[in-house]
Structure 1
Amino acid sequence: MKMEIRVRYAPSPTGYLHIGGARTAVFNYLFAKHHNGKFIVRIEDTDLERNIADGISSQLDNLRWLGLEIDETIDHEGKYGPYQQTKRLDIYRSHADKLIADKHAYHCFCTNEALDKMKAEQQKVGIFSFQYDGRCAKLSPAEVKKNLADKVSFAIRLKTPKNKIFTINDMVREEVSFNTKDIGDFVIIKSNGVATYNFAVVIDDYLMKITHVLRGEEHLSNTPKQLLIYDYFNWQAPRYGHLTLIISETGKKLSKRDGSLMQFIEQYRNQGYLSEALFNFISLLGWSSHQEREIYTKSELIKIFNSDYFSKAPSMFDVRKLLWMNNYYIKNLTQEQYLNLVVPFVKSEHDWESKDEQWWQELLLIYQKQLMYGAEINELISLFFENKPPLTKEAQDFLQTNPDASKKVLDDFKAKLATTDDWSLQEIENIIQQVKADTKITGKMLFMTIRIACSRQTHGPELAKTIKLLGKEQVLTRLTDLKL
């Protein structure tokens, strides 16, 4: 019988869904669905002091917003739950006790002060990567029994053999080998009774029948510790794939502390980015279809997602590419979908009741082709709500290229507008054509001059529609105020 592919994304609720975490989740999701497998979300919440109140709900909400259907998680249980580590502490402890019984682990009664002294002594001789010296492994059974009876605080450490080699066939990096000589006896159950990451993740992955683990390359150093635990239990380890770094345009690894770049899914969501665009963009951060295209639907990605195409080089978070991609998806929204995207942003800054519904719709729709993200709409429509918008430098420079021609166009345009009682789109287009015929001025000098006079900008949506929406009084005021 063919093995069922089971993968997991296991966030810690110490923060919100980061781009790096979202990439890990998307890749695991696509890999699972490509193989008709299961995508599991397990909450690794054992870092009790750093967990935030809405960390779990935010992670799940944003994963689902991205379009990831979760097969098993805390609010959609399967048969391998609980899917939250703080509800599995007894499971970890029972497995740790088995390792103790099998002489693979032991109680460590060292105080923090003793450990600090040990670290300081190692640093004096140039050892800065701390390794426990194994002193508690040498305690006699009677000494251990007495300490336990006296309720002396303890952790549980795993015995680590020297110079044991583990080799994996990594899905990204191919063959990778690890030597246990640099690990030392590490803690698997802390003194507060909570399992450490490396121990809990192995127990969970095995009991939840996880077959493949795709995760960031920062976890590569954890792999030998986890493989040792698998080895002691005589369990089959999953197939690993360590995804390459995501770097900024400066070539540096994305840092959550870098405020110059939005790095959390919630931020993009709040700014009016589309989930389909983000899913598409994230799916290409470290993976390529080897096709000459960038736009893929989720179903297309599921069909073609192949682990043979993982990148071995860091992937760049290209903001301009994301904006281009989001604009592509916005342009392809239906009118109703587009208005549902932008109207809430407009209502947050403008009095919706000040204009009729038809005017608002006409205004917003003229920007659909150029809008990069939802929140940008208020910046784009600002020219319709400023009494005296300033000229951009580009506009000033253009008007100075031929001031006589500009004045000729604007004088004729203003005179014709002032005498018309018809403020329809067709009439405005007719007037522009009459100015063209009367002045013999055409092309950029005609159209950009009129655009600058009305909007104070050199570029924008369809000119006649812009003039119509501004209204006759506002346009005539701006024509009068413009001094050449």
Structure 2
Amino acid sequence: MNDLARVRYAPSPTGYPHVGNIRTALFNWLFARHNAGSFIVRIEDTDQARYVPGAVEAILDGLRWLGMDWDEGPEKNGAYGPYFQSQRLDRYKAAAEKLIASGHAYRCYCSSERLEQMRAAQEAAKVPTGYDRHCRDRCELGPEGVTPVVRFRMPLEGRTFFHDIIRGEVAFENALLDDFVLLKSDGFPTYHLANIVDDHDMAITHVMRAEEWLSSTPKHIQLYKAMGYEPPLYAHLPMILGSDRSKLSKRHGAVSIIDYKNQGYLPETMVNFLALLGWSLDATTEIMDVKKIIENFSLERISKTAAIFNIEKLDWMNGSYIRSLSLDEFTDRARPFLEAGVPEAAAYDRDYVKNALALIQERVKKLGELRDQPELTRFFFYQHLEYHAVDLVGKGMTTATTRQALQSSQDRLEKLDEFDIENMENEMRPLAAELGLKPGQLFGCLRVAVTGQSVSPPLFQTMAVLGRERTLSRIHEAVQKTHELAE
């Protein structure tokens, strides 16, 4: 491949970009970067009836989050914006008129009522639905006041052949393809016309798109031929299925790419994971940074068979990436999620927050857990803990033995010269034996005393982060709480 390779990502703003849509963008971007080519973003906003406010912003935010930069477009404030088809309507109208003039298209005046009746009759007769070419050879003049659509005049005989880089030679019977609409009555083009004109004008060399567009390709090949354009090379990407091999849906994880960002998946995880939905380096390699993926990406490595979206694998991969972050990187990325779940954390300095987060980095699979599961960290930041006194009394212990264990622990810890993990452990383990307790019993009541809960990061590491003053204050409060319990 040479440096003239040009590809495009052309989403419709009819909804927020889901994983299948973004996978298509990623494969195009990887191909462009591997071949030192150009990656173009083109917003196909000609379906005004289905336009979703905010969708364009979500699409662009998703690309930026994943690091998929694009190479050209209208400049605004020193940066490239995407192309918008709605700003190129005159170009599409001119193309439609050219096709009419050459006999490759015609105006159709059929009303929506007639088309509905036609489809109903076809369905009743159990024959394939499609336009019946009522206006194909009729007079150009239609009913007064009716704005026609423009339809393409498909050949009625023969077959349309094309080569798909992933699937090989493909052929369709022309007789099975109807005279599809090129230009709607509102003056906006359909996808079929607009993408052909744009791909030609933008010198696109390769069209990589979802498998669902395979059946539209013969229409596009015929359009290229009628316009006198050289078609690009095609590569139709495999479908993405859920873990049960059914069509991917929200229950499998087919949500907006921005939802993954909000859940706390890392962008490098998503790039790695999405790249493996239909492409692979080899039979075993799973974790790859984007540089390695770009270096090895090729269309020949893309599978014909459907890819499986496995949310458990995504979670595992994200956990691996989180564990590979330096503590400083983890702190920077985690802190917004932490403060969303535990607002009190915003009052603490970076070093304290970093020390607290260090204890849970190994356990976190998604940064969103810090927001959605505040119990992971709240005891580091709350001034006062809320728990029931009875929670201090562990299995096989009484109120009296619990009070004695806590008081003795407080006495020993107060005498430590250095309040560090090693010194605390060297004092507390022998103390358990002296009190006739198992280490787990002593440590259990201490854990509740200093965190307010029975599950936390390792006890002595937690106490070291909390520091001498706060740890001893909490143990003292726990001793007082035991007096609330009747023997």
What residue is the counterpart of 1:370 in the other structure? 363
Identity rate, percent:
34
After TM superposition, give the deviation of residue 8 of structure 1 in Å.
Answer: 0.7
Q: SS state of the match for residue 325, structure 2?
A: coil
Aligned position for 1:193: 187
For residue 166 of structure 1, the aligned residue among 156, 160, 165 is 160
Q: Select which of 246, 256, 261 maps to 1:264.
A: 256
Question: Which residue number corresponds to residue 434 of structure 1?
Answer: 430
How far 1:7 sits from its partner (Å)?
0.7
Matches for 1:387-406 after TM superposition, within 5 Å: 387-388=386-387, 403=396
Match of 1:217 among 201, 211, 214: 211
Task: Kindly tell me the number of residue pairs found equivalent between the two proteins.
Answer: 467
Q: In the alignment, is residue 99 of structure 1 matched against residue 99 of structure 2?
A: yes
Q: Quote the Cα distance in structure 2 between the aligned partners of 1:431 and 1:365.
A: 24
Given the superposition, is the C-alpha separation of residues 457 and 194 from structure 1 closer, same or farther in structure 2, using an over 3 Å criterion? same
* Letter of the structure 1 residue corresponding to residue 32 of structure 2: A
Question: CA deviation digits over 1:239-272, x for unaligned, max 9?
Answer: 21111222222332222xx367361111121232
Partner residue in 1 for 2:135: 136
1:334-386 per-position Cα deviation (integer Å, ceiling 9, x unaligned): 33322222222232332246656544332222212222222212421145545
Q: 1:93 and 1:157, CA in 2 relative to 1: closer, same or farther beyond 3 A?
A: same
Q: Indicate whether 1:69 and 2:69 are aligned.
A: yes
Q: Distance in 2 between matches of 1:31 and 1:102?
A: 37
Instruction: Give 1:370's aligned amino acid.
Output: R
Structure 1 unaligned segments of length 5 or more: list them. Answer: none
Which amino acid counterpart does residue 11 of structure 1 have in structure 2?
A: P
Q: Once structures 1 and 2 are overlaid, which stretch shifts more, 438-447 or 218-227? A: 438-447
Partners of 1:410 and 1:449 within 8 A in 2: no
- Residue-by-residue CA offset, 1:211-266 (whole Å, 9 max, x unaligned): 111111111221121112112223222221111222222332222xx367361111
TM-score w.r.t. structure 2 length? 0.85
User: For residues 160 and 478 of structure 1, what CA distance do their matches in structure 2 show?
Assistant: 83
Stretch deviating more after TM superposition (414-423 or 168-177): 414-423
Q: Is the 8 A contact 1:212 1:239 kept in 2?
A: yes
Q: Give matches, 1:406-421, under 5 Å.
A: 412=405, 415-421=408-414
* 1:336 paired residue number: 328
Structure 1 281/91 Cα, relative in aligned 2: closer, same or farther at 3 Å?
Answer: same
Q: CA deviation at 1:171?
A: 2.5
TM-score, structure 1 as length reference: 0.85
Give 1:425's match in structure 2, choosing from 390, 406, 420: 420
Q: Distance in 2 between matches of 1:343 and 1:310?
A: 38
Q: Please say if residues 82 and 88 of structure 1, whose CA atoms lie closer than 8 Å, have aligned partners that are also in contact.
A: no
Cα drift, residue 2 of structure 1: 5.1
Q: What is the aligned partner in structure 2 of residue 360 from structure 1?
A: 353
| Closer/same/farther in 2, CA of residues 188 and 416 from structure 1, 3 Å limit | same
Q: Say if 2:243 is the partner of 1:244.
A: no
Shift of 1:206: 1.6
1:14/1:55 contact within 8 Å kept: yes
- The reply on whether 1:8 has 2:8 as its aligned counterpart is yes
Residue equivalent to 2:338: 346
8 A contact 1:286–1:314 mirrored in 2: yes
Q: CA RMSD in A?
A: 3.4
1:391–1:456: 8 Å Cα contact kept in structure 2? no
Q: Residue 301 of structure 1 corresponds to which residue in structure 2?
A: 293
- In the alignment, is the contact (CA less than 8 A) between 2:207 and 2:232 conserved in 1? yes
Q: Do structure 1's residue 467 and structure 2's residue 463 form an aligned pair?
A: yes
In 2: Cα distance, 1:2 partner to 1:354 partner:
54
Determine the structure 2 residue equivalent to 1:284.
Answer: 276
| Separation of aligned partners in 2, 1:408 and 1:88 | 81
- Does the CA contact (< 8 Å) of 2:339 and 2:346 recur in 1? no
1:267 & 1:342 partners in 2: Cα distance? 16
Question: Contact 1:285–1:316 at 8 Å: present in 2 too?
Answer: yes
2:174 is matched by which residue type in structure 1?
T
Deviations 1:61-88 (A, max 9, x none): 22011011201234479xxx98211111
Structure 2 unaligned residues grouped into runs of 5+: none
Alpha-carbon deviation of 1:289?
0.4
**Aligned equivalent of 2:176, options 179, 182, 185:** 182
The worse-fitting range, judged by mean Cα deviation, of 354-363 and 239-248 is 354-363
User: What one-letter code is carried by the residue in structure 2 that aligns with 1:360?
Assistant: V
Tell me the residue number matched to 1:37. 37
SS at match of 2:44: coil
- Is residue 156–residue 187 contact of structure 1 (8 Å, CA) maintained in 2? yes
Alpha-carbon distance in 2 for matches of 1:264, 1:20: 10
2:11 is equivalent to residue 19 of structure 1: no
Contact 1:418–1:476 (Cα < 8 Å) also in 2: no
Query: Secondary structure, in 3 states, of the residue corresponding to 1:241?
Result: strand
Q: Find the counterpart in structure 1 of residue 312 from structure 2.
A: 320
